[in-house]
């Protein structure tokens, strides 16, 4: 539920266009939320995380049979890999990091750890052999990262709404760019 709250909050912020609590304008959170990596398939990237957390919560609420546990494990593995990928993008491509995004990634790692710990309590562990888990988890993780990499590599086809709004504001106020090159 903590992951759902954090990812839901970030999704709401992206749609509302506000600043995150405890993050000032121009901070790492602001830079990450304004970047092109904050949208995936037309919705906030954090919304996909909220969906992932909700799906795992539903599977857990239904009772973790071996099949449901395996589905939750695959979702969590993909979520951890995608969080690591997005964290790498934010640090190396944007030069910024968002404490909320890092918290969501930590929650995803903790969730994966709890799921692995819960595997011991399942009655039907024979279908959940370590080799199958490692192979399936790695494949799902790679698929999530490759999908994101291909999507983000394509780049935006049009300027982001934040950039358009800034350009309109600067033109309307008659702003002039003064710069120097030393």
User: How far apart are alpha carbons 151 and 154 in whole angstroms?
Assistant: 6
What does the DSSP assignment read for 96-124?
---HHHHHHHHHHHHHHHHHHHHGGG-S-
User: How far apart are alpha carbons 164 and 119 in whole angstroms?
Assistant: 49
Domain annotation for the chain: domains and CATH numbers: 2-172 (1.20.1440.130)
pLDDT tens for the chain, 182 residues: list them. Answer: 888 888 888 777 778 776 667 776 667 777 877 777 877 787 888 888 889 999 999 988 888 788 888 888 888 998 898 888 888 888 888 888 888 888 888 999 999 888 888 776 665 555 567 777 788 888 878 888 888 777 777 765 555 666 777 777 888 888 877 766 66
- Model confidence, pTM: 0.71
Locate 86 and state its tokens. Answer: 């997005």
Question: Tokens 């819960």 appear where?
Answer: 118
Q: How far is CA 48 from the centre of its chain?
A: 7
């Amino acid at each position: 539920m903590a992951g759902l709250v954090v990812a839901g909050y970030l999704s709401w912020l992206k749609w509302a266009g506000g600043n995150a609590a405890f993050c000032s304008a121009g901070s790492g959170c602001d830079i990450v939320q304004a970047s092109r990596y904050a949208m995936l398939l037309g919705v906030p990237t954090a919304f996909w995380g909220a969906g992932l957390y909700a799906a795992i919560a539903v599977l857990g609420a239904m009772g973790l049979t071996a099949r449901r546990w395996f589905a939750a494990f695959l979702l969590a593995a993909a979520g951890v890999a995608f969080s690591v990928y997005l964290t790498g993008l934010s640090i190396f491509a944007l030069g910024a990091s968002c404490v909320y995004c890092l918290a969501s990634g930590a929650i995803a790692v903790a969730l994966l750890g709890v799921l692995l710990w819960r595997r011991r309590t399942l009655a039907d562990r024979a279908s959940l052999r370590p080799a199958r888990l490692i192979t399936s988890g790695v494949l799902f993780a790679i698929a999530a990262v490759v999908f994101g990499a291909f999507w983000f590599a394509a780049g935006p086809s049009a300027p982001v709404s934040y950039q358009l709004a800034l350009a309109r504001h600067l033109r309307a106020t008659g702003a002039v760019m003064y710069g120097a090159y030393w």
